[in-house]
């Protein structure tokens, strides 16, 4: 088998999407192709066996908020799939080299992804960078603690109406939340608020609501509500796809409205951050079952540039020795001082793999936590604590959608 790795030409895009759908077990149809054709999808890379496309990997270009409220352009790894007939022959490894090269050409110092399986991406230098939880809340557990009553108004909106309303709220919240990404209008329509049959796949229709406080849009949600019967009783499950609000008052009002929908027996929501305000809104958080799992994975493609892109808390300089087997040019010592990282010959305070630095990057995990698992070596006493304080983010990183 002789393989060729190269960028995908325009006339090969449907083959590229078809291979990903076949590998993932998704139906392939025009709606799937539309979902993939967002403006962010700039990099499409593939492996060819003769003239047959057999493996795919892509990268979205978007801005991701990092600690300090800055939002550098990053690569969002996506559309990874190798045909079952061609697995375990090194095709993914070849694709990863190609996509990283394309990311670097665009000056993207960081790549992030959602993994289909946790075991795949560590070998390419990614570290688990945030946690996300799926919640299930029975109706009897939805009471809130006392709080201020606000005059909130909720209305249903169409797909077209929702895009400008939701995107302005999203952008306000995104600016303060590490892990959230920019969304083009095409992204909103193709991947969030659009509900074409080929992607809905038999599920109930998507409902979109906007919440106004004092006449100003302050929160939104989109959800599906599935109806079932238990004898003569309706047992509805509310599946909240995304609920975002721009203030504590709006968060309370939005979730209260959602939890009070008639006939709902169980409320579900996915990909919530482990520090979601619901824990402190609910009178009994115990009734909310949260199943936590890995969320974003982050890979520093250019260690010095990536470290210099986020902001830090006050603290003394620190020297990292970074080991990177997949991108050996990253291996070396880096001095992080006054918010800027550069190569250095100084003795290291901490030694770690590039994966661990990716895990710390968004502030989702501490150096101390990883050192306790043997993933980081402390050479200078106190360096773990200094690094923890430098990198700390007051909000857990949160990416509420799988890309």
Select from 88, 105, 140, 233 the one that contacts ligand ACO (CB under 6 A): 88
**Strand intervals (E) in 95-151:** 110-114, 127-128, 131-138
- 116 labelled ligand-binding: yes
* 300 is a site residue for ligand ACO (CB under 6 A): no
Q: Which two tokens stand for residue 266?
A: 């169980």
Out of 16, 45, 100, 121, which one is annotated catalytic? 121
* 238 is a site residue for ligand ACO (CB under 6 A): no
* 376-378: strand order across its sheet: 340-343, 332-337, 318-323, 350-353, 376-378
Select from 13, 120, 226, 377 the one that contacts ligand ACO (CB under 6 A): 120
CA separation, residue 117 to residues 41, 75, 113, 120, 170 (Å): 22, 19, 11, 6, 28
Minimum separation from the CB atom of position 20 to ligand ACO (A) = 8
- 80 labelled ligand-binding: yes
> How many C-alpha atoms does 217 have within 13 Å on its Cβ side?
21
Per CB under 6 A, contacts with ligand ACO among 16-35 are 23-24
Number of chain positions touching ligand ACO (CB under 6 A): 24
How far is the C-alpha of 340 from the C-alpha of 306, rounded, in Å? Answer: 10
Question: Considering only CA atoms, which of 217, 202, 240 is closest in space to residue 162?
Answer: 217
| Residue 100 among the catalytic residues | no
Q: By C-beta, is 112 or 307 nearer to ligand ACO?
A: 112
Select from 1, 10, 119, 373 the one that contacts ligand ACO (CB under 6 A): 119
* 115 is a site residue for ligand ACO (CB under 6 A): yes
Minimum separation from the CB atom of position 180 to ligand ACO (A) = 18
Minimum separation from the CB atom of position 95 to ligand ACO (A) = 8
Q: By C-beta, is 22 or 308 nearer to ligand ACO?
A: 22
Stretch of 108-116, 183-191, 222-230, 345-353 lying at the interface with ligand ACO (CB under 6 A)? 108-116
CA separation, residue 298 to residues 215, 356, 399 (Å): 39, 9, 12
* 350 is a site residue for ligand ACO (CB under 6 A): no
Which secondary structure element, helix H or strand E, spans residue 279, and what is its range?
Answer: helix 278-281
Per CB under 6 A, contacts with ligand ACO among 270-299 are none
What letters, b where the CB count within 10 A reaches 16 and e where it falls short, cover 48-79? bbeeebbbbbbbbbbbbbbbeeebbbbbbbbb
How far is the C-alpha of 106 from the C-alpha of 104, rounded, in Å? Answer: 5
CA angle 326, 16, 86 (to 5 degrees): 60
Q: By C-beta, is 66 or 92 nearer to ligand ACO?
A: 92
| Residue 121 among the catalytic residues | yes
- 93 labelled ligand-binding: yes
- 176 labelled ligand-binding: no
- 331 labelled ligand-binding: no
- 6 labelled ligand-binding: no
How far is the C-alpha of 97 from the C-alpha of 107, rounded, in Å? Answer: 15
State the binding site for acetyl-CoA: 80-82, 88-93, 116-117
Hey, which residues are catalytic here? 121, 403
């Amino acid at each position: 088998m002789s393989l060729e790795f190269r960028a995908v030409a325009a006339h090969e895009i449907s083959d590229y999407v078809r291979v990903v759908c076949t590998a993932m077990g998704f139906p392939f149809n025009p709606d799937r192709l539309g979902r993939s054709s967002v403006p962010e999808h700039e990099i499409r890379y593939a492996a060819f066996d003769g003239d047959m496309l057999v493996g795919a990997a892509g990268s979205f270009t978007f801005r991701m908020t990092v600690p300090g409220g800055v939002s550098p352009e990053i690569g969002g790894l996506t559309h990874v799939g190798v045909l079952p007939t061609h697995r375990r022959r090194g095709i993914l490894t070849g694709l990863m080299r190609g996509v990283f090269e394309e990311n670097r050409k665009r000056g993207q110092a960081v790549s992030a992804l959602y993994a289909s399986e946790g075991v795949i991406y560590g070998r390419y230098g990614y570290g688990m960078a945030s946690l996300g939880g799926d919640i299930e809340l029975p109706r009897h557990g939805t009471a809130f603690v006392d709080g201020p009553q606000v005059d909130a108004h909720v209305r249903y909106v169409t797909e077209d109406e929702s895009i400008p309303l939701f995107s302005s709220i999203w952008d306000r919240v995104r600016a303060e939340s590490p892990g959230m990404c920019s969304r083009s209008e095409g992204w909103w329509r193709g991947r969030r608020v659009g509900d074409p049959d080929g992607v809905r796949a038999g599920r109930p229709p998507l409902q979109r609501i906007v919440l106004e406080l004092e006449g100003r849009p302050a929160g939104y949600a989109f959800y599906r509500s599935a109806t079932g019967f238990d004898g003569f009783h309706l047992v509805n499950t509310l599946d909240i796809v995304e609920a975002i609000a721009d203030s504590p008052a709006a968060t309370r009002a939005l979730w209260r409205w959602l939890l009070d929908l008639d006939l709902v027996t169980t409320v579900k929501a996915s990909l919530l951050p482990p520090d979601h305000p619901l824990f402190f809104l609910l009178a009994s958080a115990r009734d909310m079952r949260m199943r936590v799992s890995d969320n974003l994975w982050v890979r520093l493609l250019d260690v010095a540039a990536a470290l210099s892109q986020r902001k830090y808390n006050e603290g003394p300089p620190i020297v990292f020795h970074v080991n990177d087997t997949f991108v050996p040019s990253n291996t070396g010592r880096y001095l992080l001082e006054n918010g800027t990282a550069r190569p250095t010959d100084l003795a290291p305070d901490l030694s770690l793999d590039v994966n661990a630095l990716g895990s710390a990057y968004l502030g989702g995990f501490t150096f101390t936590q990883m050192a306790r698992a043997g993933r980081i070596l402390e050479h200078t006493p106190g360096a773990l604590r200094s690094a923890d304080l430098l990198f700390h983010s007051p909000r857990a990183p949160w990416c509420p959608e799988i890309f």
